[in-house]
Amino acid sequence: MKRDKIKAVVILLIGLTLVTQSVFGQENYIRPIGSSGDTIKVPGRHLRFNGCTRPGSVLTINGNVIKVFASGAFAAFPEFSPGINQVEIVSEHPQYGRSVKRMWVESLVPSPLTTTGEFKIESVQMIPDQDQWLVTGDIVTFRVKAQPGNKVEIMGKRLFELPDSITGGIGGIYQCQYHIASSDTLVFSKVIAEMTGREGMKDTLSSETHLTINSSDFNRYARTNSDFSPIYIGLGSDRLGGAKYGYLDRNVLLKITGRVGDMERVSLGDNKIAWVSYETIDRMPEGFYPATPMLTGSFSVKGDDESDYLRIPLPEKLPYTSSLETDPARIEVDIYGVASNTNWITQMSSVKEIKNIYYHQISTDILRVTIELNHHQPWGYSISYENNTMVVKVKHQPESLKLSELTVAIDAGHGGTSDGAISSTGIKEKDVNLMLALKLKSALEKKGVKVILTRDSDTTIYNIDRWKALVPRNPDILISIHNNSVGNSNPLATRGTSTYYKYIGFRPLSVIMYDELRKCGLSEGGNVGSFNFTLNSPTEFINVLLEVAFMSNPEDEMLLMDNRFCDKVVSHVVKGLDRFLNESSK
């Protein structure tokens, strides 16, 4: 990247700062961030305000004085009454006059749960409250809220009324667990609760969600239909998606035994289950069954100039999970639906990183393969299939641990249609991330490092596509650069830096980076592990995510607006890489 492109990004950030001080001419102004329209709805009693005004102004929100920072930024977290609240923001400047902005905030506080007074059923739910497809032997939980003291049944099963000591004093909460029998059948039906009173009164109500039982779609096989098919541990989800075991190769054979919502349940073996999105599989025809017995062949291991390769012959492309462990450094691969018929493991002299390989049949149909490594710092691995042979590719430690001999990938988070966080003065995270990435690229190239950028302009690129593009380019290390923001919480209470990793084997780099960023004068946000971010998920190369500072905090924002501070951050990231390589060589 040319130096003029770096200068252009710096000028862009300076321009974003100056716009709050110039485009409004000789008048005062108020510019809230993230508010659209005259009414803002918030689930709760508080709403985060970030915005900017003329530096030197006195600003109030509904009469309460709010600090205006030297940049003109302000931030607050006022409390509102349930319902509609009028908000008046006033900014007064001794030279540029008075500016007023009015809006409405609707505080959506849920009504407290109360005991049902009249004879009726209020709600019928399955837990979780999503459409479910189940098979013989499964258990479904029903929950009903109705008038207390009555008899409630679903599918001929009586529900138990929970005592007030469990429900927080709310009467009429009924629950039961229903065991699916082989004789049970339903096709996408709402479940119906029936309540009978003491005098023979009856009331019925249907669930909002649907239940299917013993459908021919389940207890069937399917294959994954992409090269990066995520396999989930459970049904939980948040802004990063559900926790994952990892990703599967294309055409891996899965036994599908049910569905909840959009997630298909996979039987891995010996009562161990996982979940995949229905969009990532293609069902095999009804009546398809894999060849039996499912047995492994004998293993072989050999190496080339960059990696070692463990090959495990299998009768099918079977599902697997893996983990990267320490003390000693090792890779553990669990293969599901198979028993060992491995009578020898051949290891060639070309192998450099793999120290030992052995396996344990940890249950009747789960084989655990352990790959011990020669170096305490793993440098990456991948799992894929060549026909029906599983190939575990283990990356060598670089021959030279000098920074100048390595390839470093730098990911500038967000870009294009993804702005990321927006600061009080309107600076977009995507621009700050790119500016820091370009500065880091320049600093590393001065040291002779080969640098790969996932983006070098304001471009929309999905994170999974960044990962896919990096794999064939084989970087030694990936550094993802982001800047943080709070959600709907107090923006003045949270600031500082943090680093993130997913696999314990890659933690050392994140710990060193955290220590170096703290030396930039940033407060402590923590070193975070098991982080379910897409670009912390690659096992192919060491990776770390840096959340340099908080865009939502005006003090951190002013640091990010300071070119000298950004240079300092880059300098410490480079020092962190040198420290990591030094530690890895011991």
For the stretch 406-462, pLDDT in tens is: 999 999 999 999 999 999 999 999 999 999 999 999 999 999 999 999 999 999 999
Q: First vs last Cα of the chain: how many Å apart? A: 34
At residue 528, what are phi and psi to the nearest 5 degrees?
-115, 125
- DSSP secondary structure string for all residues of 474-540: --SEEEEEEEE--SSS-TTT---EEEE-SSGGGHHHHHHHHHHHHTTTPPEEEEE-S---GGG--SS
pLDDT at residue 52, as a whole number: 97
Q: Do the domains 220-283 and 121-210 match in fold? A: no
Residues with Cβ within 8 Å of residue 124, at least 6 apart in sequence? 142, 143, 144, 154, 191, 192, 193, 205, 206, 207, 208
User: Average pLDDT in the 393-409 region?
Assistant: 97
Average pLDDT, integer, range 230-235: 96
| Short-list 23, 52, 70, 14, CA closest to 562 | 14
The class that CATH gives domain 121-210 is mainly beta
Average confidence (pLDDT) over 499-518: 98
Compute the distance between CA of residue 424 and CA of residue 553 in angstroms, rounded to an integer.
8
Chain mean position to CA 228: 15
pLDDT score, position 6: 39
Tokens representing 252 are 């891996």
| Neighbouring residues of 157: CB distance < 8 A, sequence distance ≥ 6 | 142, 176, 178
Among 162-166, 267-271, 574-578, where is mean pLDDT lowest?
A: 267-271
Q: Give percent of the chain with pLDDT exceeding 90.
A: 91
Predicted local confidence at residue 159, as pLDDT? 98
Q: Give the residue-averaged pLDDT of 557-575.
A: 98
Per-residue pLDDT reduced to its tens digit, 113-137: 999 999 999 999 999 999 999 999 9
pLDDT score of 294: 94
Locus of tokens 């300076």: 14
A 10 A CB-CB count for 290 gives: 13
Q: Which residues of 490-528 are buried (b: 16+ CB within 10 A; e: fewer)?
A: ebbebbbbbbbbbbebbbbbbbbbbebbbebebeebebb
Task: Tell me the per-residue pLDDT of 64-86, one tens digit each, with 9 for 90 and over.
Answer: 999 999 999 999 999 999 999 99
- What is the per-residue pLDDT across 335-378, written as a single tens digit (0 to 9) for each? 999 999 999 999 999 999 999 999 999 999 999 999 999 999 99
Mean pLDDT in residue range 168-187: 96
| pLDDT band at residue 35 using 50, 70 and 90 as cut-offs | low
- pLDDT digit string, tens, across residues 149-166: 999 999 999 999 999 999
pLDDT on residue 20: 40
Instruction: Kindly provide the b/e burial profile for residues 397-419, where b requires at least 16 CB atoms within 10 angstroms of the residue's own CB.
Output: bbeebebeebbbbbbbbbbeeee
Q: Tell me how far CA of residue 314 lies from CA of 1, 144, 221, 296, 346, in angstroms.
A: 46, 48, 17, 5, 16
Residue 36 confidence class, pLDDT cut points 50, 70, 90: low
CATH hierarchy code of domain 403-584 = 3.40.630.40
* Contact indicator for 202, 212 with CB cutoff of 8 Å: no
- Whole-angstrom distance, CA of residue 248 vs CA of residue 256: 15
Lowest average pLDDT, out of 228-242, 457-471, 516-530, goes to 228-242
- CA dist list (Å): 353 to 307, 373, 377: 8, 6, 11
Q: Does domain 299-395 have CATH number 3.40.50.720?
A: no
What are the beta bridge partners of residue 238?
none
SS3 141: strand
Q: Are the C-beta atoms of 196 and 236 separated by less than 8 Å?
A: no
Report residue 18's pLDDT band, with 50, 70 and 90 as the boundaries: very low
Fold annotation for 220-283: SH3 type barrels. (2.30.30)
User: Strand 151-154 and strand 157-158: pairing?
Assistant: antiparallel
Average pLDDT (138-145) is 97
> pLDDT value at position 5?
45
- Name the CATH superfamily for 3-107: Immunoglobulins (2.60.40.10)
- DSSP SS3 for 554: helix
Domain positions in the chain are 3-107, 121-210, 220-283, 299-395, 403-584
Say if CB 257 and CB 220 are below 8 A apart: no
Rounded CA separation 114/124 (Å): 16
Residue 229 main-chain phi, psi, to 5 deg: -95, 110
| CA atoms within 13 A of residue 349's CA, in its CB half-sphere | 0
Beta carbons within 10 angstroms of residue 44's beta carbon: 13
- Residue 256 above 90 pLDDT? yes
Alpha carbon distance 297, 345 (integer Å): 10
Largest CA distance in the chain: 87
pLDDT band of 37, cuts 50, 70, 90: low
